[in-house]
């Protein structure tokens, strides 16, 4: 009898120890998972400065996330900018850039030939881009479709991740 009671206690202890780990894995370690609960509104972002909208599929956002993490994630994990904490990838900071970078077309343009936040000069010699793919090899195999998916991921992320995305501090 004592043996079966001990076995039951050990089984219960294993279950209780495994439960927090299972919850963390299911929750994606606190980060929102790319899951079916996303609404079309969350997946819809500005396509261009004229207000045209584009809706990405969940699969396109997942692909954009992979491309982003591989090409940009080292410096922009979570939408921040490690080299300049004042300029993140959050919607407000993107909108206040010159030119505004709060739409797919503007972000694709930036990934091709990046400029300073004020738009005054090219920074392609220090920021990965298609223009500088001879220096930044992760950019070599990206085409316009890839850049569009990455831009979609950047613009959809704050809608899903909220305050966990970006957090630039420049607000004029």
Which residues in 65-99 are b (16+ Cβ under 10 Å) and which e? bebbeebbeeebeebbbeeeeebbbbbebbebbee
Does 3 lie in the same domain as 85? no
Residue 41 lies in a domain: yes
CATH of the domain at 113: 1.10.760.10
CA 35/CA 18 separation, integer angstroms: 24
Residue 19 or residue 133, greater confidence: 133
CA gap 44, 53 in Å, rounded: 6
Residues 53 and 80 in one domain: yes
- Whether residue 140 lies inside any domain: the answer is yes
Judge if 53 and 66 occupy the same domain: yes
Q: Please report whether residue 172 resides in a domain.
A: no
**Is there a domain that residue 92 lies in?**
yes
Of the candidate ranges 11-20, 76-85, 89-98, 107-116, the one whose mean pLDDT is the lowest: 11-20
Q: Quick check: 141 and 133 in contact, CB under 8 A?
A: no
Looking at the fold, whether 13 and 40 belong to one and the same domain comes out as no
Verify that 21 and 71 share a domain, yes or no.
no
Same domain, 142 and 113: yes
Same domain, 2 and 70: no
**Residue 55 β-bridge partners:** 44
If you search the block for the tokens 């370690």, which residue do you land on? 29
What pLDDT does 59 receive?
Answer: 95
**What is the spatial distance between Cα 93 and Cα 100, in angstroms, rounded to a whole number?**
9
Domain identity same for 18 and 82: no
75-84, 95-104, 140-149, range with the lowest pLDDT: 75-84
Exposure on the CB side of residue 165, measured as CA atoms within 13 A: 19
Alpha-carbon gap, residue 51 to 28, rounded angstroms: 34
**Residue range 114-165, pLDDT digits in tens:** 999 999 999 999 999 999 999 999 999 999 999 999 999 999 999 988 768 8
For residue 53, give its domain range.
Answer: 35-164
Integer Cα distance of 106 and 147 in angstroms? 11
Residue 34, Cβ density class (10 Å: 0-12 exposed, 13-18 middle, ≥19 buried):
middle
């Amino acid at each position: 009898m004592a043996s079966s009671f001990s076995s039951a206690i050990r089984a219960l202890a294993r279950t209780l120890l495994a439960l927090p780990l299972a919850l963390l894995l299911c929750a994606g370690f606190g980060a929102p998972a790319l899951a079916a609960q996303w609404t079309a509104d969350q997946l819809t972002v500005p396509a261009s400065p004229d207000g045209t909208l584009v809706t990405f599929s969940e699969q396109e956002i997942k692909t954009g996330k992979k491309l982003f993490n591989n090409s940009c994630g080292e410096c922009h994990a979570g939408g921040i900018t490690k080299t300049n904490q004042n300029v993140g990838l959050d919607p407000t900071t993107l909108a206040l850039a010159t030119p505004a970078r709060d739409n797919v077309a503007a972000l694709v343009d930036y990934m091709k030939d990046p400029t300073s936040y004020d738009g005054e000069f090219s920074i392609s010699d220090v920021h990965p881009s298609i223009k500088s793919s001879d220096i930044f090899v992760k950019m070599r195999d990206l085409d316009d479709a890839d850049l569009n998916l990455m831009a979609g991921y950047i613009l959809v992320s704050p809608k899903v991740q909220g305050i966990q995305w970006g957090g630039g501090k420049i607000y004029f």
